[in-house]
Structure 1
C-alpha cells in the first residue's frame, strides 16, 4: 500500500471514530432529554398531594366522591396545611361580639370578647349535592360539639330579673346543624382555569346549649347559680343574638380554607373530565 493510501485509511478510521463519538453524544443527549421529560411529568403528576382525592366530573357518584374527599381531608384541616398556606381550623378566635336588643323591660345588652371556639374541626357533612356543571355546592353540616370561652360584660333583664356582671363565660353547644349554599366561578390565571368559591351562605339550626357565667353578683354563689340556671332555661335569647356572628365567622373561615385549595390547583386537576 502506498503511503497515500495509508494516509487515506488513517483518515477514514479517524473520521469513523469521530462520527461514532458524535453518535454516542447524540444518544446521550437524547436520553438526557427523555429523562428530563419523564422527571417533569412525574413532578406535574405530584403537584396534587395524595391527601387531596380527585373526583371525575363524569363519575355518576361524584357527590359521594367529593363528600369522601372532604372527610379524608378533615384531619389535615384540623392541624392546618402549611404547604398550601391553610390555617388550622382550631382554635377559632372571635375578638368581640356585641348585643343590644329588646325593650327596657326585657333588654339584652352584652359584650363578649377574647372568645376562643373549639370544635369546628369535628364537622361532619351528612349530605352533599354538587352541581359541577354550574359549580354550585349545597350540603348539610353537623357540628357535634362547639366549646367556647371568653370574657363577658352583661346587663340583661329576663323575666323582670336584672342580671349584671363581668367575668368569664364558658359555653357548650351540641348537635348544631347548618344548611350551607356555596356557589363558585371559574376564573382564568396564567392561561389555566381555577375554581373560586363565593362566601358560603350558612344558616345554623340550634341544638342543645349550656352557658355558664362566673362572677355574677360579685361572685355570690347562690345568686350566681340561680342566675346561670335562669340563663340556660332562656338560652334561646342568647343564641338568637350570637348565631349570626357565629354563622358569619364560620362561613368566612370555611370559605377561605376552601379557596386556598381550589385556587392552588387547576380545575382540571381537581375535577378531570375522565
Structure 2
C-alpha cells in the first residue's frame, strides 16, 4: 500500500503471543535475524484472523469497515464542475491481503507497512451529486459502488510511549497513508428523479476520468483509512504492553 487501509500493520502488530492474546498470533523477537520477515508473515496472518474481529480483545471486524462520509469535488468554477457526497460507505476486502514489507523503528516508535490486496477493494454506499459537464446536468441521488483493482497501500504509524503500571505501551498519534490502484471502476445508480440518460452521463464521465477522480478522492480516503487504522491499533496497543507485541 502507498494506502491504508485498516488497518493493517496496526493491529497486525499483535504479532506477539501473550496471556491475553490469541495463541495463534506469532511472536517476532526484535533481535532475531529475520525480524522484518517474521513481522511481515505474522501480520498477514493476524489480519486474516481479524476478518471477523476478536471479541476477547474487543477488536471489531476488518470486513466490512464503515466510513461515514467522503466528499469529491471536481473542476470547481470551470465548464466541468461536479461535487459528489458519499455517505454510509461499507468497505469490503481489507482483510484479504498480504503485507509486502514491515518495519518497526523502536527508537522513533514508527511502524511502516506496505500492503497489497489479493482481490478488489469494494466501497458501496449512498451518494448525492451536483454539477454539470458543459451544459449537461449531473444532479442525482442514489447508490454508488467503487471498485479498486490491485489495491496497494503504504501506512506509517507514528507513536509515543505511555507508561502504565511500570510497563511500556504504545499509542498511535498520527498515521500517514498513501494508496494506489491499477484501475478504479465507478458505478452510480440513481434512485430519485431517475433519468437513465443522465445516469449514463455521470458513469461515463467518471470512468473515462478515473485517474483524475482517484487523485481527488485520495486525500479523503487516506484520512478516513488513517482514522480507522489509528483507532484499531490503539484498541490493541492500549491493552497489551509493547514488549509482548514485539518482544525484546
TM value normalised by structure 2: 0.82
The structure whose RCO (Cα within 8 Å, separation 6+) is larger is 2
Unaligned runs of 5+ in 1: 1-43
The answer for the alignment partner of 1:116 in structure 2 is: 90
Which entry has the higher C-alpha Rg, 1 or 2?
1
Partners in 2 of 1:271 and 1:169 — Cα distance? 41
The answer for the alignment partner of 1:10 in structure 2 is: none
- Higher relative helix content: 1
Aligned length: 230
- Higher relative strand content: 2
The answer for the alignment partner of 1:83 in structure 2 is: 56
Report if the CA contact (8 A) 2:70-2:221 is conserved.
no
The answer for the alignment partner of 2:210 in structure 1 is: 235
The answer to whether structure 1 residue 127 and structure 2 residue 130 are counterparts is: no
**Structure-2 change in CA distance of 1:46 and 1:58 (3 Å):** same
Partners in 2 of 1:231 and 1:66 — Cα distance? 39
TM value normalised by structure 1: 0.75
The answer for the alignment partner of 1:181 in structure 2 is: 156
What are the superposed Cα offsets for residues 159-186 of structure 1, whole Å, 9 maximum, x if unpaired?
A: 6543222111122111122222222222
Does the residue aligned with 1:215 lie in a helix, a strand or coil? strand
**Structure-2 change in CA distance of 1:62 and 1:133 (3 Å):** farther
Matches within 5 A, 1:67-216: 67-101=40-74, 102-143=76-117, 144-158=119-133, 161-215=136-190
The answer to whether structure 1 residue 56 and structure 2 residue 29 are counterparts is: yes
Report if the CA contact (8 A) 1:216-1:224 is conserved.
no
